[in-house]
Structure 1
Amino acid sequence: MDGFQAYGAGKAGGAFDPLTFIRQPQTVVRILCWLFSVVIFGCVANEGYVNRPEEEAEFCIFNRNQSACNYAVAMGTLCFLCSSAFLALDVYFPQISGVKDRKKAVMADIGASAMWALLWFVGFCFLANQWQVSREEDNPLREGADAARAAIVFSFFSVFTWAALTLLSLERLKRVSFEEEYNKLFSPPLA
């Protein structure tokens, strides 16, 4: 048993290796989530609003429904921040030596990832529906049509990337739980 090291905790306090970190599946998928949120936010914030000369205010290209554009912009922004925070947690994760703290971090990751997968599914359905029922008279030149379709497509992709993060976090939870059981069985009793 001397050669066995529990997941992560045995290496707590070690040096950070960026190449190993970047090659982890969880890191790759989290970076994709981060990138998709930037694309969605950028598409809707940049080309999601159209103004017509005869009207004063801009309107959302998704069936003139401001809620659709607001939802996409808010989700893109919040997902960007959440992805950034969990990416930072992934960097810091090997430094956490307490198994209970590691377990809390993984449980938070599971909850957040599952929640974002659900919210992106709702967002995809909402944006696709609003785009489908948009009238051509509202936007005869189809300004921002490519951006709207890109936002819808990347919303769809986001569902799967966040679901994949949920599954990867569940695998991580199994490893942390194994580590906890291992520590209970093989740690020396306190005198």
Structure 2
Amino acid sequence: MVVFACIVNEGYMNIGSERLLCVFNKNADACNYGVTVGVACFLGSICFLVLDIYFPTIHSVRLRRRAALIDMAFSALASFLWLVGFCFLANQWQQTTEDELPLAQGSDAARAAIAFCFFSILTWAGLTALALQTFINLFQNFSLFTDQPDDNTGYRDNARRTPVANGVTVVTTNPYQQAPPFSETLSLDPSTLTPGPVF
């Protein structure tokens, strides 16, 4: 916002004509570049601020990774654009002569715009590093659920053959059910049977 405000407020001058000229070596592209990148990064930062507020409510790991990836890509692009802007504005300001700026008109605003272009490089580079760290943490947390060893393997092997009463072995395929219900067999010894009433 500082770069945008400096260029819009004092980045243009009119010397003996109705046409406004850019203070950066009378190059309109320099002023337009600073204003465009400043507005784009300001709007992008507002959007990602809203995304950061709603980020904890996103339950899908895939959507979280996409949000972190977009944040990282935008921050890296913004840092690169500010680097280009710093080099471009500094070069144009270096070529500006005192004859083109009577009474140093707009010189403070031009220097402030160049300085804050440099600060913006560091700021967006830091945001890129934070977004990268968030992206890596999401992958590590997701791998905890996908790459963990299957602890039920041994349990499945033990649960397949379950001995029960009377020497009968029941083979099950469900690892969570040790023995099916009603698996015990009754002994039908004729000596233990008592005759019932005859009608």
Structure 2 partner of 1:162? 124
Q: 2:9 aligns with which of 26, 38, 46?
A: 46
Structure 1 partner of 2:173? none
The secondary structure found in structure 2 opposite 1:86 is helix
Quick check: 1:179 aligned with 2:141? yes
Within 5 A, what are the aligned runs for 1:9-24? none
Between the aligned partners of 1:46 and 1:94, the Cα distance in structure 2 is: 39
The secondary structure found in structure 2 opposite 1:141 is helix
Within 5 A, what are the aligned runs for 1:2-151? 38-52=1-15, 54-151=16-113
Matched residue type, 2:131: S
Q: Tell me by how many angstroms 1:139 deviates.
A: 1.1
Name the structure where helix makes up a greater proportion of residues.
1
Between the aligned partners of 1:70 and 1:136, the Cα distance in structure 2 is: 22
Q: Tell me by how many angstroms 1:91 deviates.
A: 0.5
5+ long unaligned stretches in structure 2:
151-199
Give the structure-2-normalised TM-score.
0.73
* Structure exhibiting the larger radius of gyration computed from Cα positions: 2
Superposed CA deviations along residues 136-158 of structure 1, whole A, max 9, x for unmatched, are 11111111111110000000011
How many residue pairs match? The answer is: 149
5+ long unaligned stretches in structure 1:
1-37
Between the aligned partners of 1:102 and 1:72, the Cα distance in structure 2 is: 32
Query: Relative contact order, CA 8 A, sep 6+: which one is greater?
Result: 1
Superposed CA deviations along residues 146-184 of structure 1, whole A, max 9, x for unmatched, are 111000000001111111111111111111111211232
Between the aligned partners of 2:66 and 2:145, the Cα distance in structure 1 is: 17
The secondary structure found in structure 2 opposite 1:63 is coil
Q: CA RMSD in A?
A: 1.3
